[in-house]
Structure 1
Amino acid sequence: MQFNPAWSLVALAVASSLPAVAADVVVKIGHVAPVSGPQAHYGRDNENGARLAVDELNAQGVKIGGNKVRFELVAEDDAADPKQGTAAAQKLCDSKVNGVVGHLNSGTTIPAAKVYDGCGLPMVTPSATNPQLTALGYKNVFRLLANDNALGAGLAQHAKNVLKLKKVAIIDDRTAYGKGVAEVFTKTARQLGMEVVSEQFTNDKAVDFSAILTAIKSKKPDGIFFGGMDPQAGPMLRQMQQLGMSKVYVFGGDGICTEKLSELSSGARTLGNVVCAVGGASLDKLAQGKAWRGRYDAKFPGQFQVYSPYTYDATMVLVDAMKRANSTDPKVYAAKLASTDYQGVTAKVKFEPNGELVSPAMTLYVYKGGKRVALN
C-alpha cells in the first residue's frame, strides 16, 4: 500500500479534537516502622495496614480538588532506632510526601515528630503511646489510640481489684515506651496499696533475664510488670518457667500483646499468666472488625499482630482531611485534621486539642491455649 501523507493529517486532526485525559494526581503517604531487626513483625503488620488502605482508596477512584487521585505508599524502615527514625523522617520530608502514618515506637516517634513539625507534615501515629508525644505541643501530631497513662493504670487496677495482688515487681527496657508505661503502672500500683518489691532494668536487645528474674524471685512477688516488647517478653516467659516462677502473673502493655508472643515464648506455661493491654477495642467486638480482618488476612495471611487496623485508620483519617479541605497540600489540609469526625474500623475518630483521641477504648487480653483472647 502506498503511503498517503493526507492520512497522517487526518489522524492528527482527529486526535486533536478528542478531549484531553487528565493524568492522576499522585499523593504520597509516608509510613515508617521497623521492618528489619527483632521488631520486624510489628513493622510489617503496620505497613500492611497502611498498604491495604492505599489499595482500597485507589480502587474507589477518589477525587480531590476536581482531580482523580492515585495514592502511593512511601515506606521507610527505622529499625526501632531513634537515629534511624529521624533520618527516615527527614527523607520523607525531602521526598515531599503529603502526610505520614507512623512511627511505631515512642522512642522513634518523639524525635521524628520534631522533624515533621519543621517541614510542616501532618503525622498520625497508630501505636506510639508515650504521653510525652502530645505534650510537645506540635499542632501536626495526632495519636489514634489510648496512651500509656490509660494502659499502665488499667493494668494496675486489674492486678489489684480483680486479681487481688499484693506484691509486684517491675522490669523495663529503658526505651521511651517501656520506661513510660512501667512508670505509670508503678505509680498506680503504689496508689492502690500494692507493694513494689523490686525495680529492675534491661534493654530492648536483651535475651537473657536470668539474673534479673533470680533477684526478683527472692522477693516473692505475685506479679511482674514488663515495660517492653515481645522479642524480650517471650524469652522472659521461658526463663520464668525454668526458674520455677510458674504462678507469677506477667503484665505488659501493647508492646507484648501480640499474636507472635505465643511463638516467642516457645509454648512456656507461663504464657497463661500474661495479662496485657491494647489501647483500643477488640476487632471481634467492632462493627467493621471481622470484615476488615478478613480482608487483611486474605491479602497478608499469617502476618496480623496488633496495630495494622490503626495504620489503616490513620491513612483513612489523613485522606478524609484532604477530602474535606479539597486539597492534598499539607499546608492546606492539616488544619482539617483537628476537626476530624471519622468512623474508622477501630473507633469513631475525634481528636482532643492536643492531638489525643477522644474517649479511647482499652482492651485487656490473656492467652488461652496459646491464643490471645480479649477479657473485655
Structure 2
Amino acid sequence: MKARFAITLLATAALGALAVQAPAMAEVKLGLAAPLTGPNAATGEQYRRGAEAAVKALNAAGGVNGEQVTLVYGDDASDPRQGVAAANELVGEGVAAVIGHYNSSVSIPASTVYAEEGVLQITPGSTNPQLTEQGIKTVFRTCGRDDQQGDVAGKFLATAYKGRKVAILEDQTTYGKGVADATKARMNSLGLKEVMYEGITVGERDFSAVVSKMKAANVDAVFFGGLYNEGGLILRQMRDQGLEAQFLSPDGTVSQEFWGITGPSGEGALVTFGPEMRDQSQAKDAVAQFRAEGYEPEGYTLYTYAAVQVWAEAAQKAGSVDGAKVAAALHDGSAYDTVIGPLTFDAKGDPAGSSYVLYSWQDGKMVQLSDAQVAKLGQ
C-alpha cells in the first residue's frame, strides 16, 4: 500500500515538473496606437474595431507563423506628447509592430521611437507627406497622402469656382495646415487665388468671427483643413449666419460625428476620401461581420483592418515578425491582398496608386459622387 502511494506521488511530481517546463502557447504582440479617448475618440473607435476584427480573423486562421496575435493598446488622445509616451509604452511591452497613429502630428514624433527600436509602424490614417519623407524604412501607411488629396480638392475648387471667391481655413496642426496648403498650392497653380486664408484653434467652439469675415467677403466656397469637431461647428455656424457657401473638407471629417454636429446644416457638404470600399467584393465578408455585430465600418475601419492584414502577410512571407525583415518584405514590390484591395508599397512606404474622390453628405450619409455629378457642382 505504501509502495503504491509512493509511486503515485512520484508520478504526480513528474507530471507537475513537465507542466512547469512545458512552453506556454506562443503569441506575438501587436500594438494599436490611436486616440481611444479625447476629441477624436470616434476615429479611435474605427481603429479599434478594425484592428480587433482583423486580429480575430487572423487568429481563427492560425495566427502568424503559428503564433496567436494579441493586441496591446496605446491611447494617444490625439496629443503628440501622449503619443510619444504611448509609443514608448508599446515598445516596452515588446510589440512586434504598431498599427497607428491617427493624427500626423502624433505619428511623426512617435515614428522615431519605433524606428530606434526596430518596430514596424503602419498607419491607417496619417496622411501628411512628412511621415514617409523621413526615410524611415519601417514606416508605412495604408491611406494616401495630403499632396494627393490636396490635388483633388484644389483642382475641384479651381474648376468649379473659377473666377469666384474661395476661403481656406486650417486648424494649425501638422495635418490640417498640410492638407490646406496642398489644396491651396494646387488651386493657385490652376489660376485661382483664395480671398482668405485663416487659421483656427483646435478645441475652439465659437467661430462667429471667422464666419462673419467670410460672409463679409461674400465667399462662394470654403475649404477647411482639419477634423470633424471644428469642421462641423464651422459649417453649422456658417448656416446659422446665412452663409450658404459650398463647404469642402478632407478625410479628417470622415465620421458620423460630423453629421451629428451639423445636423441638416451638413447637407451637401463635400469631403475628399478614398473610393468607397464597403461594397467591394474583397470587403464583403468583413463588412457583413461588422454589420452583424451592429457596427457600420465607416471611415478608417477598413484601412485599419488592411494594415493588420499587410503586416501579417508580410510577416508570414518573411518567416519572422522582426521589423526589418517584415519591412523588407513590404518593400519588395509584392501586392498584398486586403479588404481595401491589393496594396503595393513604394520605397517610401506609401501605397502605390492611392486615389481620392469626392463625397457629398446626403441625408446623414456620405455618398461617393460620379464624375458627372462632380462636373455639375458649382454651377
Contact 2:263 2:364 in 1 (8 A): no
Q: 2:240 aligns with which of 221, 239, 242?
A: 242
State the one-letter code of the partner of 1:313.
A
**Percent of matched pairs sharing the same residue:** 34
In structure 2, the residue matched to 1:349 is 343
Counterparts of 1:165 and 1:149, CA distance in 2: 24
Q: 2:249 aligns with which of 252, 265, 269?
A: 252
In structure 1, the residue matched to 2:206 is 208
In structure 1, the residue matched to 2:313 is 320
2:269 aligned with 1:274: yes
List aligned pairs for 1:1-376, cutoff 5 A. 4-5=4-5, 8=8, 23-62=24-63, 64=65, 68-162=66-160, 166-246=164-244, 248-268=245-265, 271-278=266-273, 280-299=274-293, 301-302=294-295, 304-339=297-332, 340-376=334-370
Structure 1 segments unaligned to the other structure (5+ residues): none
Deviation at 1:51, TM superposition (A): 0.9
Deviation at 1:163, TM superposition (A): 5.9
Contact 1:145 1:361 in 2 (8 A): no
The structure whose residues are more often strand, as a share, is 1
Counterparts of 1:60 and 1:23, CA distance in 2: 20
Contact 2:152 2:357 in 1 (8 A): no
| Structure 2 SS opposite 1:96 | coil
| Structure 1 SS opposite 2:168 | strand
Counterparts of 1:329 and 1:193, CA distance in 2: 49
| Structure 1 SS opposite 2:39 | coil
Structure 2 segments unaligned to the other structure (5+ residues): 371-379
Contact 2:149 2:272 in 1 (8 A): yes
State the one-letter code of the partner of 1:296.
F
Deviations 1:195-249 (A, max 9, x none): 3000111122111111011111111111000000001111111101111012x11
CA-atom RMSD, angstroms?
2.4
Note closer, same or farther for the CA distance 1:9–1:108 as it changes in structure 2 (3 Å cut): same
Instruction: Give TM-score, length-normalised by structure 2.
Output: 0.90
Contact 1:258 1:306 in 2 (8 A): yes
| Structure 1 SS opposite 2:251 | coil
Aligned residues: 367
After TM superposition, the structure 1 stretch with the greater mean CA deviation from structure 2, 69-78 or 164-173, is 164-173
Contact 1:41 1:303 in 2 (8 A): no
Counterparts of 1:283 and 1:259, CA distance in 2: 17
State the one-letter code of the partner of 1:308.
T
Contact 2:47 2:300 in 1 (8 A): yes
Counterparts of 2:285 and 2:218, CA distance in 1: 45
| Structure 2 SS opposite 1:156 | helix
Deviation at 1:69, TM superposition (A): 0.8
| Structure 2 SS opposite 1:372 | strand
State the one-letter code of the partner of 1:155.
A
Note closer, same or farther for the CA distance 1:110–1:329 as it changes in structure 2 (3 Å cut): same
| Structure 2 SS opposite 1:97 | coil
Note closer, same or farther for the CA distance 1:219–1:14 as it changes in structure 2 (3 Å cut): same
Deviation at 1:50, TM superposition (A): 0.7
| Structure 2 SS opposite 1:151 | helix
Instruction: Give TM-score, length-normalised by structure 1.
Output: 0.91
Counterparts of 2:229 and 2:163, CA distance in 1: 26
Deviation at 1:6, TM superposition (A): 6.5
In structure 1, the residue matched to 2:377 is none
| Structure 2 SS opposite 1:267 | helix
